[in-house]
Amino acid sequence: MPFGPLSQRQVLIREVAPRDGLQIETRWIPTERKIELIDRLSATGVYGIQYTSFVPPKWVPQFQDADKVAAGIARDPAVKYIALVPNRRGFERALAAGVDEVTLPSAATETFAERNLNRSIAGCIETVREVVRAAPPGVVVSASVSMCFGCPYEGLVPVDRVVEICARIADAGAPVVTLGDTTGMGNPSLVRDVFRRVRARCPGTRLAAHFHNTRGSGLANALAALEEGVDIFDGSVGGLGGCPYAPGATGNIATEDLVNMFHGMGVGTGVDLEALVGCARLAEDIVGAPLPGQVMRAGPWPPAARPPRPAAIGV
């Protein structure tokens, strides 16, 4: 156990429902409801909230109100407000909107990068380099690598390639790199292998995990990542995202299910689980459909005091 007993571990939770969760929503979610969700999330104790995306409106019409959302939320100084920005222009908009952290997307496969990010992997990495140089002090520039555990276009993704791309992104200056399994193709053994090898290659880089529950193993993958020393985890309240209208077909892991498991294990998150469950119910109300989160129905277990999260482990 090179990272110490799990019961003494502390992790950071990043809530991504307002961005990753809403990204696939084709129906318009009113700006005030997005703000309501973000403000409720701000009171849960999560480390950060991925609260919007500064993409061109024609790419994702749902985020055409990114500036209004950023202006409308009640910021809590203890929470990091994180925006996805696809390019330099999005970064400038995010800066103007007062973002704490930006996440730059990239991918482990060229096909996904070309089809979903409209550029090559090299282009994504170049954008990371540019934005890192342009970022003012105090604004964290993190990078997110999709398809690290499998790709719907290319299938199996060689671990060597994932390691190489993460190393290039680390070289470009991103202090935090998130390894993503957007289509839920990972398994715990692969997750361990990938994180172990990326960590060995990029010892100075903070690694984060972004799992989906598409095939039911999202929390098992999170457990594997935790045991490999990962201490930043993404989740989406209620499991918002993916395809909420296909019964049982889930997207992101439900933040409250993840936190409930971690708390049961004695892993500190700083999150008020009951408040998080309230946010999951709000998310259901906002999208008007049942979400796949489990703890919001069964109730948290075990009942636990809210474990502290020391500020020292912040990014």
Catalytic residues: 243
Binding test (CB under 8 A) with its own copies, winner from 247, 310, 311, 312: 247
Per-residue tokens: 265: 């294990």
Q: What is the DSSP letter of 263?
A: H
Task: For 82-139, give the DSSP string.
Answer: EEE--SHHHHHHHHHTT-SEEEEEEESSHHHIIIIISS-HHHHHHHHHHHHHHPPTT-
Q: Is 304 in the site for its own copies (CB under 8 A)?
A: no
Q: Binders of its own copies among 102-131, rule CB under 8 A? A: none
CB nearer to its own copies: give 64 or 294.
294
CA atoms within 13 A on the CB side of 89: 3
Q: Binders of its own copies among 148-207, rule CB under 8 A? A: 150, 155-156, 183-190
Q: Is 292 in the site for its own copies (CB under 8 A)?
A: yes
Residues binding its own copies: number (CB under 8 A): 49
CB nearer to its own copies: give 128 or 224.
224
Q: Is 261 in the site for its own copies (CB under 8 A)?
A: yes
Q: Is 295 in the site for its own copies (CB under 8 A)?
A: yes
Q: Which residue type, as a one-letter code, is found at position 303?
A: P
Q: Is 10 in the site for its own copies (CB under 8 A)?
A: no
Interface segment toward its own copies; rule CB under 8 A; list 14-22, 42-50, 81-89, 287-295 = 287-295
- Residue pair 259/13 in contact (Cβ under 8 Å)? The answer is yes
Compute the least distance from the CB of residue 276 to its own copies, in Å. Answer: 13
Interface segment toward its own copies; rule CB under 8 A; list 18-26, 34-42, 94-102, 261-269 = 261-269
Nearest to 40 by CA among 184, 256, 231, 311: 256
Binding test (CB under 8 A) with its own copies, winner from 30, 98, 264, 314: 264
Residues 6+ apart with CB under 8 A from 112: 146, 147, 151, 152, 153, 154
Taking the CB of residue 296, how many other CB atoms lie within 10 A of it? 25
Compute the least distance from the CB of residue 165 to its own copies, in Å. Answer: 20
- Residue pair 233/14 in contact (Cβ under 8 Å)? The answer is yes
Q: Is 250 in the site for its own copies (CB under 8 A)?
A: yes
Per-residue tokens: 251: 């997207």
Q: Is 6 in the site for its own copies (CB under 8 A)?
A: yes
- Tell me how long the chain is: 315
Rounded to whole angstroms, the Cα distance separating 24 from 20 reads 8
Compute the least distance from the CB of residue 26 to its own copies, in Å. Answer: 19
Query: In 122-238, at which residue ranges do the beta strands (DSSP E only) sit?
Result: 140-146, 176-181, 206-211, 232-235
* Chain centroid, CA 44 distance in Å: 16
Q: Is 305 in the site for its own copies (CB under 8 A)?
A: no
Interface segment toward its own copies; rule CB under 8 A; list 33-41, 94-102, 106-114, 220-228 = 220-228
Q: Is 265 in the site for its own copies (CB under 8 A)?
A: yes
Which residues sit at the interface with its own copies, rule CB under 8 A? 6-7, 150, 155-156, 183-190, 213-220, 222-224, 246-250, 253-254, 257-258, 260-261, 264-266, 290-295, 297-298, 300-302
